[in-house]
């Protein structure tokens, strides 16, 4: 019986160590998720600024086109290139927004997991 008790105590110590490792891993994931989320938000903000600048550039390009009929064909190519670039930036901004949402969801899931593992209260003897 003493042997069984010792084995049970050893097993509970192993469980405590495993739970501590899981808790540390969950905290790391939560930290990294928050960092990813912050970086993604920063990138999305930068993409918005670029998109606004490209829209303004597109407007200016169209004004130049209207005042320079003799260069219409060249200007139209510039307009198309700017519009294509604007579309690419908007796609990038959309992708960044989706990435931010995914990072936030991962952060929420990490927080939930962290809360769930935090419910396990373990004293110094390894007992709950």
Domain layout of the chain by residue ranges: 2-118
In this prediction, residue 19 carries a pLDDT of 94
In this prediction, residue 123 carries a pLDDT of 61
CB 87 within 8 A of CB 10: no
CB 89 within 8 A of CB 53: no
- CATH number corresponding to 2-118: 1.10.287
In this prediction, residue 22 carries a pLDDT of 93
Q: What is the pTM of this model?
A: 0.40
In this prediction, residue 18 carries a pLDDT of 93
> Across the 128 residues of the chain, what is the mean pLDDT of every consecutive 10-residue run?
88 93 92 88 83 87 73 71 86 87 89 84 60
> What are the φ and ψ backbone dihedral angles of 123, each rounded to 5 degrees?
-85, -175
* Burial category of 102 from C-beta neighbours within 10 Å (exposed 0-12, middle 13-18, buried 19 and up): middle
């Amino acid at each position: 019986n003493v042997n069984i008790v010792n084995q049970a105590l050893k097993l509970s110590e192993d469980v405590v160590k495993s739970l501590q490792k899981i808790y540390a891993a969950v905290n790391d994931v939560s930290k990294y998720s928050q960092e990813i989320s912050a970086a993604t938000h920063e990138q999305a903000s930068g993409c918005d600024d670029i998109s606004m600048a490209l829209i303004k550039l597109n407007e200016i390009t169209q004004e130049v086109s209207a005042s320079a009929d003799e260069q219409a064909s060249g200007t139209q190519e510039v307009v198309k290139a700017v519009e294509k670039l604007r579309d690419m930036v908007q796609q990038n901004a959309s992708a960044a927004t989706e990435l931010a949402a995914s990072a936030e969801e991962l952060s929420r899931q990490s927080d939930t997991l962290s809360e769930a593992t935090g419910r396990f209260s373990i004293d110094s003897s390894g007992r709950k």
